[in-house]
Structure 1
Amino acid sequence: MIPIRGIDDAAAIAAALFAPELDLQLMTTVAGNVSVEKTTRNALQLLHFWNADVPLAQGASMPLVRPLRDAASVHGEIRHGGV
Structure 2
Amino acid sequence: MESKQHPIEQQVEEGRQRAHVHAERINELAEELAQEIKALKDIADEISPSYWRVYYKPFITGFNSISVPSVRSDGDVWTVFNRVV
Q: TM-score over 0.5 for the alignment?
A: no
Tell me which protein shows more helix as a share of its residues: 2
Tell me which protein shows more strand as a share of its residues: 2
The structure whose RCO (Cα within 8 Å, separation 6+) is larger is 1
TM-score normalised over the length of structure 1: 0.25
TM-score normalised over the length of structure 2: 0.25
The structure whose Rg is larger is 2
